[in-house]
Amino acid sequence: MIFFRFSTYTMKYLFFSTNILSWFSQNRRNLPWRETKNPYFIWISEVILQQTRVSQAENYYKRFVLNFPFINELADAPEDEVLKIWQGLGYYTRARNMHKGAKYIVEILNGEFPRTPEQLIKIPGIGSYTAAAIASIAFNYPAAAVDGNIYRVELNPLLRELICHKDIKCK
């Protein structure tokens, strides 16, 4: 018989991850941005979701993708056209920054999306959370996308230990 010895942290992590993944599989919502590995579409969804409820975001996401299905089309579009499609979402700086970021990706990066958070964060309008989200979802890069929702939750010591482990800084 083989016995494995796991650290307390490993056991807590396994317990937590098993439970959270089980909960997610039972409560998962079908959302269009979850059906793609396209970094451009993931970026659009992340920016839209920054100040928008998921229930509202889906229609705006579909409209944006329909009007700008490729990053070069967003980059080439006049700003007023981008803002018109964005209309109703508010916080127009998000649309302007995404437009600038699309131009940067097309003109400077030859239309190629960077694959790591360190590279993505150099794009105008992409911060650390969005960079981690794009890298982890589109490219399976091991990056934790930690946002304000996690900070607002009153974490018990187990969750705090798991979320704030190693290089992840917690307030």
Q: For this structure, is 79 an active site residue?
A: no
Q: How far apart are CA 113 and CA 155, in angstroms?
A: 34
The catalytic position among 46, 81, 118, 161 is 46
Structure tokens at 63: 């409209």
Q: Is 101 exposed, middle or buried (0-12, 13-18, 19+ CB in 10 A)?
A: buried
Q: Give the count of beta carbons closer than 10 Å to the beta carbon of residue 59.
A: 10
Q: How far apart are CA 43 and CA 113, in angstroms?
A: 10
Rg of the chain (C-alpha set): 18
Give the residue carrying structure tokens 């980059």: 75
State the catalytic residues. Answer: 46
